[in-house]
Amino acid sequence: MNELRRDPITGRWIIVLLGKIPTVTDFKVEPYTKNAEKCPFCWGNEAQTPPEIIAHRKSGPPNSPGWTTRVVPNKFPALRIEGALNKEGMGVFDVMNGVGAHEVIIDTPEHYKDFADLTSSEAEEVVWAYVARSLDLRGDKRFKYILIFKNFGKVAGASLEHPHSQLIALPIVPKRVLEEIEGAAKYYEYKERCVFCDMLREEIEEKDRIIYEDANCIGFCPYVSRFPYEVWILPKKHNSDFAGIPRDCVPNFARAMRDCLARIKALLQDPPYNFIIHTSPINGHERNDYHWHVEIMPKLAKVAGFEWGSGFYINPVPPHIAAKNLLSVKLDVK
C-alpha cells in the first residue's frame, strides 16, 4: 500500500507510491542541443547585458572578456531597484510598487557547461558570488528577503541556456519561506531543538537516503520528498543565514552542490531542474529555530496539476530508492 508522509517543518503531506517504481528512462527527459551563437552571457558579448555589478576576472577591464563568474542586473527584471514601496490598501487587497533587485549570476563563461560540470574551485566562485551579493543587498532597508535560485532547462523556466543563477531581493518574505519559518519555530517552541538538526540526525543515523557527506555538509533525498529525485543540501552545523556561511564551509558546500547536481545529470539524462537556497529573512540575528539549506528539484514527472491547488504531492520514487540510484553513479569530477 502507498504511504502518506508528513513533513514536520511545513506540515506538508506527500503520497509515496510503493508499487511499480518508474525506472530512470521512464522519465522521458527531452534531449536538447545548445547553441552559443548570439548568447549575451558568453565572452565578447558583455555589452548585451546591463553593466556588471561584480565579476571574478582573470584579466581585462569590467564588461569585457576575461571573467570567470559575472553578476549583472536582469535585463527584464520582475522588480526594479529604484523607487519607494508605497504600500497601500486597494479594497480587500494590498498593493505595493515592484521595488526590489533582480540579478543574474553567470556561473561560468563556458556556454556548454552547467553547475554539474564545474570544477570544485569554479563552483566555489559561484557560491562566493551568491554570498557577496547577499551581503551587499541586505544593506538596503527596503528588502526583507534574498531569494537565490537556478532554473535549468526550458521546462524548469530558463529562458537562456547559458549556465546562470538568479537572485531576487524582495520587499516581503515569500509565503513558502514564512511557512517554513513558522513551522520550524513551532517545533522549536515545543522541543527546544531545531527541526532541521533533528532531521539531519535521523538522516545520518538511517544512512540510506544520503548521497553526499563531508565534514561540513550533507546531501540527501529527504524522507518526505515531494518530487522524484528531490535532493536537499544542509550545512551540518546549525546556521540560519546562508550569507553567514563560514569561510571554511564554502568549499564543502560548493562541492556538495556540484556533486549532487552531477549525479542527477548523469543518472537522469541531464534533466531540467530548479534549485532554491532557503535562508532566513534579513533581520540581523541568527535564529535557533531555522537552518538554511538548498532544495534541488529535478523536473521529471509531468506536473500533476492538482498539486498546485492542494499542496499535496504524489512521488512515484521512494526517496531511499532515489538515493540508491543516485549513489550508483560513478562521478567524474574535478
| Footprint of its own copies on 110-169 (CB under 8 A) | 147, 149-151, 154-157, 159, 166, 168
Going by DSSP bridges, is the β-strand pair 217-220/88-90 parallel, antiparallel, or unpaired?
Answer: unpaired
Task: Choose between 216 and 274: whose C-beta lies nearer to its own copies.
Answer: 274
Q: Under rule CB under 8 A, which residues in 9-38 are in contact with its own copies?
A: 10-13, 15, 17-19
Rg (alpha carbons) of the chain, rounded to whole number: 20
Task: Choose between 151 and 325: whose C-beta lies nearer to its own copies.
Answer: 151
CB of 112 to its own copies, least distance (A): 21
What's the rounded Cα separation, in Å, for the pair 111 and 178? 36
Q: Which three cell numbers stand for residue 277?
A: 537556497
Task: Please select the residue that binds its own copies; options are 32, 98, 207, 331, rule is CB under 8 A.
Answer: 98
Task: Choose between 55 and 127: whose C-beta lies nearer to its own copies.
Answer: 127
170 touches its own copies by CB under 8 A: yes
Task: Choose between 55 and 170: whose C-beta lies nearer to its own copies.
Answer: 170
Dump the DSSP string for 153-175.
Answer: SGGGT-SS-S-EEEEEEESS--H
Q: Which residues pair with 54 in a beta bridge?
A: 71
50 touches its own copies by CB under 8 A: no
Instruction: Give the list of residues 6+ apart from residue 325 with CB closer than 8 angstroms, or none.
Output: 24, 229, 267
What's the rounded Cα separation, in Å, for the pair 173 and 240? 15
Q: How many CB atoms lie within 10 A of CB 150?
A: 25
Q: Interface with its own copies by CB under 8 A: which range of 58-66, 262-270, 282-290, 305-313?
A: 305-313
Q: Note whether 230 and 221 are within 8 A (CB).
A: yes
Options 56, 111, 162, 164, the catalytic residue: 164
Q: Interface with its own copies by CB under 8 A: which range of 45-53, 84-92, 106-114, 127-135?
A: 84-92
Angle between helices 250-267 and 319-327 (to 10 degrees): 90
Q: Which helix (H) or strand (E) holds 203?
A: helix 195-206
CB of 64 to its own copies, least distance (A): 30
Q: Interface with its own copies by CB under 8 A: which range of 5-13, 55-63, 108-116, 212-220?
A: 5-13
Task: Choose between 198 and 213: whose C-beta lies nearer to its own copies.
Answer: 198
What phi, psi does 5 have (nearest 5°)?
A: -130, 140
309 touches its own copies by CB under 8 A: yes
323 touches its own copies by CB under 8 A: no
The answer to whether residue 102 is catalytic is: no
Q: Note whether 228 and 317 are within 8 A (CB).
A: yes
Q: Note whether 333 and 266 are within 8 A (CB).
A: no
Interface mask toward its own copies for 197-226; x: CB under 8 A: -xx--x--------------------xx--
CA distances, 93 to each of 99, 109, 302 (Å)? 18, 44, 33
Q: Under rule CB under 8 A, which residues in 171-190 are in contact with its own copies?
A: 171-172, 174-179
Number of residues counted as binding its own copies (CB under 8 A): 75
Interface mask toward its own copies for 261-300; x: CB under 8 A: ------------xx-x-x----------------x-x-x-
CB of 78 to its own copies, least distance (A): 5
What's the rounded Cα separation, in Å, for the pair 124 and 122? 5
**Catalytic residue numbers, as ranges:** 164
